[in-house]
Amino acid sequence: MKLTRLFLPLLFLIFTSCNSIRVVSDYDTKANFDDKKTFAFYKPGIDKAEVSDLDKKRIMRAIEAELIAKGMQKSSSPDVLISLFTKSRERVNINDNLNWGFGYGWGWNPWMWGGAGRLNVNQYTEGTLFIDVIDAEKKELIWQGIGSGALSLRNAEKREERINKFVKDILAKYPPGSNKK
């Protein structure tokens, strides 16, 4: 019984404290991604992103590293343009950690349902990063990846680490069908 009392709250804590990033993507099914080998950043789009200049640099460095790792090259006459957009919102997570227990014994409540618990309130910022891939010739959006998750605001290293994770998870779905190979 004591093992159950320890295991359930621990399991609950693990699942509620996960820093997962939710990723979705969409693309133009008529676009040919096989001939998209070079990229450049789309400055007008990036300038509009509501994020600090330091975070823009971090995001752009992470995108560049991921695309180069996929075999693409940065170019002044690119096949695709990369733009980004960000959103954030404050979230509150409330957990009621009751110590549910079972018991057997004499007295007023022999089944001992319930128990004392603690209310945990966690406030955090949830960020969403949109990465747009635009056909440079047609000036049309051909792929979009979106990642949402909790942001780490602690220090520059943790922030950069989190941004790298966001970008890696989003671009794992680019180009379409690449994760099936």
Domain residue limits, the chain: 21-94+119-175
At a CB cut-off of 8 Å and minimum separation 6, what does 100 contact? 5, 8, 113, 114, 115
Region for residue 107 given its phi and psi (left: phi exceeds 0; alpha: psi -120 to 50; beta: otherwise): left
Helical packing angle, 53-69 and 156-171, nearest 10°: 40
Q: What is the DSSP letter of 106?
A: S
pLDDT band at 120 (very low <50, low <70, confident <90, very high): confident
pLDDT digits (tens, 9 = 90+) for 22-39: 999 999 999 999 999 999
pLDDT digits (tens, 9 = 90+) for 45-97: 999 988 889 999 999 999 999 999 999 999 999 999 999 999 877 767 777 66
Q: Is 50 within 8 Å of 151 (Cβ atoms)?
A: no
Q: Rounded CA gap, 94 and 118, in Å?
A: 10
Q: What is the DSSP letter of 172?
A: T
- Residue 93 DSSP SS3: strand
Q: For 95-115, what is the mean pLDDT?
A: 54
User: Of 89, 177, 91, 80, nearest to 131 (Cα)?
Assistant: 80
Q: Rounded CA gap, 21 and 26, in Å?
A: 17
The CATH number for 21-94+119-175, chosen from 3.30.160.670, 3.40.50.1000, 3.10.129.10, 3.20.20.70, is 3.30.160.670
What pLDDT is attached to residue 112?
A: 52
Instruction: Reply yes or no on whether the pLDDT at 14 is more than 80.
Output: no
Q: Rounded CA gap, 120 and 161, in Å?
A: 26
pLDDT digits (tens, 9 = 90+) for 162-175: 999 999 999 999 99
What pLDDT is attached to residue 121?
A: 72
pLDDT digits (tens, 9 = 90+) for 124-148: 678 899 999 999 999 999 999 999 9
- Identify the burial level of 38 via C-beta atoms within 10 angstroms of its C-beta, where 0-12 means exposed, 13-18 middle and 19 or more buried: middle
What pLDDT is attached to residue 1?
A: 46
DSSP characters over 113-152: ----EEEEEEEEEEEEEEEEEEETTTTEEEEEEEEEEE--
